A and B are shown apart, each in its own frame.
Chain A
Amino acid sequence: MDQLFLVKFLIPLFWAIGFMFTPERNEKSIKLYALIGSIVTLAYSIKMFIDLPDTSVLTTLFKFDMPLFFNISYTFAMDGLSGLLLLLNAFLMLVVVVATWEIKTDKLRLYYFLIFTLTWAVSGSLLSTSLYGFYVFWEVMLIPLFILVGVFGGENRRYASFKFFMMTAAGSILMLASLCYMSAIAFKMNGSYDLNYEVVRALNLRYDGLMSPQSLVFWSFTIAFFLKVPVFPFHSWLPDAHVEAPTAGSIILAGILLKLGVYGFLRFVIPLFPEAVEANRDFVLFLGATGVIYGALTAWVQKDIKKLVAFSSISHMGYIIMGVFSQNPFAMKGAIFQMIAHGISTPGLFIGVHYLYTRRHTKKLDQFGGIAAVMPRFAILFFIITAGSMAVPMTCGFVGEFMIIMGTYEVNKVAAILAATGIILSPIYLLKMYHLTALGELKHEENKSLKDLSLLEATPMIVLSVLTIVFGLYPKAVMALFDGTINFFVNKG
């Protein structure tokens, strides 16, 4: 166990609290403080990952009993999967800080406070292996995002933040009900409310149909995670949240928060409720495939760039859910890879939209066109990231989707074929987006004077573009990090 773990883990939270003591009017020092904080967080995340002795098993980082909280024990542990997502989380915080460096607001301290708290809560969820711990951070992360969207968002931010909060909180309540139910059984068995892995397995929840205990617990968790991912038809909050959220919110939301739902499936649902997963596998595969097609078709008809990217997320997350539920090692590997790929390409698209919006104050597709002529740097970087998102071979997006479809085909041919139509649809809507923004003639007078990206602005997009290509050409670099973990999920723990 790492004795200093708790200190490292709490860094983002302490850093967030530190914003209260930064000089209110000195914008530069606040931003610098945020930059240092995000670099420190990324550095210790990398160090923790490097120190991990074996990525294929869950290594306990810190464990403590909480005799004062119903005698529950609390375990922080990490394996290849959680480590990789932890890195993505810290990396995206740095990206957010750099990409929104020029942000103009009189509530800068609150802005960074929320970002750091959110990152901390996400880390907590990723590292918690006890169900209780996972739930605590799962709930806590709702509040900073709610305020971030509600305060720094667009015109309809109140509505969007409210909808996001209500839908995800509703799922959380279902999960809490199951936790209480399992705690009650655990108490009867062991005289303790503790709900770690071993305890939940030992509960041996019976599965013999839809209304059996394991099935009900499975569905309460599944609905909570479906809402978070979000899986069709639980997705309606996502486009609103993305459209109204500030860029930081969109990046974190698309980059890491949505993945937490998938992570919940991998970490808890699949290993703990195997019979229910098996019984509902085909149903979820079809839901995933429907999400792929629905998300793609809806993205196609969008006139708002941000909304288009939001719907593309629903489509991509559909693939990931299919990969996870197919229970095929190849598809599952693809799903985890796709989580990382989506965590690179979609934030990249949102950053691109952010740069367009800060210059033109509109996100309407028909207000752009031909900007490659005046913003060549932007056009090139935006193209690479768009290519990654549309799964062009030799980009990171291709690897994951290909593996998912191939793997799923062995399990459910119809669902795989349906999902494969997404491969045709995604270039249609993403190329349309790129064409309407960057290519063609400069129709609008206002666009003629647009400034290209500065070096500072280009940096996050360059990094994301490089990763898009590197991971596309050499996916093994990422896959090697979580390869061993797959057995854990396929063999259901």
Chain B
Amino acid sequence: MENLNFVQNVLIFLGLNAVGLLSLNVKNHGKYISFGATLIAAITFFAMLFSQNIFTLSELFSLEGNKILLLKIVSILNVFMILINGYHSLEKVKNSILMSYMFMGGVFLLGANDLMTFYVALETIALVGYALVATSDLENSREAAVKYLIQGAVISGIFLLGVAFYLGATNGLSLVGATVVNQEFYAIALGIFILTACFKLGAFPFHAWIADVYSNVTNGNLATNFFISKIIIGFKFITLLQLLLLECDPHFQDILIRIVQVIAVMSAFYGNIMALVQGQFKRIIAYSSVAHTGYMLMMICLNPDEGYEKQLIAYLVVYSLTATGIVLILNQFAELNNKKDGKEILRAGFYRNKGLAVMLVIFVLSLAGIPLTSGFAMKYMLFTNYFREGFTIEAVSIFISTIIGFAYYIRFVSDLFTEDESKMALPAIKTRFSESLVHVIILVSIFTFGIAPSLFLGLK
């Protein structure tokens, strides 16, 4: 009965989105029908998640515990994104449908208990991701999409190689309860999975796509990338690798953990240093995300624990929300600069729209980890865990890298308050209702997570 309910809902979700897709061709009212169908699908699916605590289809797929919690969060964000995209523009309605397919890919990725389901779900997310970049209609969107696609395709191929090694190591593709018969193959497979995770999350040295993609996608599409792609892929890969590493031979386990540590620390330093020398603000955020991936990636080295899973969810959600908020505001500033991100777009921002500037300051300070904001609470929690598990040198190294982070985050604040006559003469920046709504939601989340992180997700 439980399984049937889930299958029904998935079919309804896909069906409604198919209707939405087809309706795009209907003249005049097509976009309204599409919007309605997509929204109903998203809301129905969201409601379904509250009906049960566990969804099992077969050995290949199950959703339970923290996965359901994560899905609820992403699901509500999905509904919000559809609402914010609205029904006025055909382009945005189309993006909402694409987003829904990405979301469904995320659902299957999260519940995947075998590598085939995992791979198909991952590719679904990736394909929609390429499409979202390509359809962003900014100056270099297509170039960025092609780069992303080619690099993604190579990584997919490598991932399949890892799947083959895994098959050889365990005589199956199941991710749960597999018996390792060949430790060498198993270690190689895990190494490849770590590499894939690094690419998908944008860790050094597999980050080449990230700056282009970030600076060449529209707000909505970037938010989708954050909310669905980064949150779900990050969570799934990290928790999965934690589990898989347990079965690894101690010698290989040490090597793999060392590799993860090196990548994490390098990402933190590289991301922060590169962000420091960027001219465009969106690229700064892109490289800062490389650094944040480094902070987060270290979690692979921790033992599987339900508490850590919740912390990871909190970190991913808070980071994604804040980064999206920043990009959203940057785009608002860029609109008066012929939609181009530039070195000086934030100059005198405080005098052109005080509310927007203050929001941006708070968002940026949160990413920098200033107390009373969610960024600080998450950083405090994450690093305390690393110390607790004995990764002192790695944690201290990453801490030191965050000092560099201050230098570029504070540039945002400095620019906003700089009095620049030419910029002050520009018209005041107007904010639409939907944009204000997003800002307020992010602001509330920053302070509630910052002051009372344990209120949500049972963080301890």
Contact = CB atoms under 8 A, between A and B. Distances in A.
Nearest to B417: A151
A136 B371 contact: yes
A184 B384 contact: yes
Contacts of A162: 407, 410, 414
Interface in B40-81: none
Contact of A68 (B387, B392, B402, B452): B452
A169 B387 contact: no
Given A69-B377, A177-B395, A184 B417 contact: no
A161 B370 contact: no
B417 A150 contact: yes
A158 B414 contact: yes
A181 interface: yes
A183 B403 contact: no
B447 interface: no
Contacts of A139: 370-371, 376
B183 interface: no
A70 B410 contact: no
A158 B365 contact: no
Contacts of B365: 143
A135 interface: yes
Given A139-B371, A143-B370, A165 B451 contact: no
Contact of A169 (B380, B406, B414): B406
B403 A140 contact: no
Contacts of A146: 410, 413-414
Given A173-B402, A177-B396, A180-B395, A70 B372 contact: no
B271 to A, nearest CB: 16
Contacts of A188: 388
Contacts of A184: 384-385, 387-388
A70 B454 contact: yes
Contacts of B407: 162, 166
Given A173-B403, A184-B388, A69 B413 contact: no
Nearest to B402: A173
Given A173-B399, A181-B392, A71 B454 contact: yes
Contacts of B388: 184, 187-188
Contacts of B417: 147, 150-151
Contacts of B392: 181
A135 B365 CA distance: 15
A66 B371 CA distance: 15
Interface in A178-213: 179-181, 183-185, 187-188, 193
Contact of A180 (B384, B400, B406): B384
A68 B385 CA distance: 18
Contacts of A158: 414, 418
A68 B387 CA distance: 22
A176 B399 contact: yes
Nearest to A133: B371
A150 B453 contact: no
A159 to B, nearest CB: 10
Contact of A193 (B372, B384, B403, B413): B384
A151 to B, nearest CB: 5
B381 interface: yes
Contact of A70 (B400, B402, B419, B460): B460
A103 interface: no
A67 interface: yes
A396 B255 CA distance: 64
Interface in B392-426: 392, 395-396, 399-400, 402-403, 406-407, 410, 413-414, 417-419
Contacts of A176: 369, 379-380, 383, 399
A170 interface: yes
A71 B403 contact: no
B453 A170 contact: no
Interface string B437-455: 0000000000000011111
A166 B406 contact: yes
A193 B383 CA distance: 12
B403 A170 contact: yes
A187 to B, nearest CB: 6
A69 B456 CA distance: 11
Contacts of A173: 399-400, 402-403, 406
B414 A161 contact: yes
B4 interface: no
24 contacts: A68-B452, A69-B452, A69-B454, A70-B377, A70-B454, A140-B370, A143-B370, A146-B413, A147-B413, A150-B414, A150-B417, A151-B419, A165-B410, A169-B403, A169-B410, A170-B403, A173-B400, A176-B399, A177-B396, A177-B399, A181-B387, A181-B392, A183-B384, A184-B385
Given A150-B414, A162-B414, A180-B384, 16 more contacts: A68-B455, A69-B454, A70-B377, A70-B453, A71-B460, A139-B370, A150-B413, A151-B417, A165-B406, A173-B400, A176-B383, A180-B387, A181-B387, A181-B392, A181-B395, A184-B387
By Cβ-Cβ distance, the 4 closest A-B pairs, closest first, are A68-B452, A184-B387, A136-B371, A184-B388
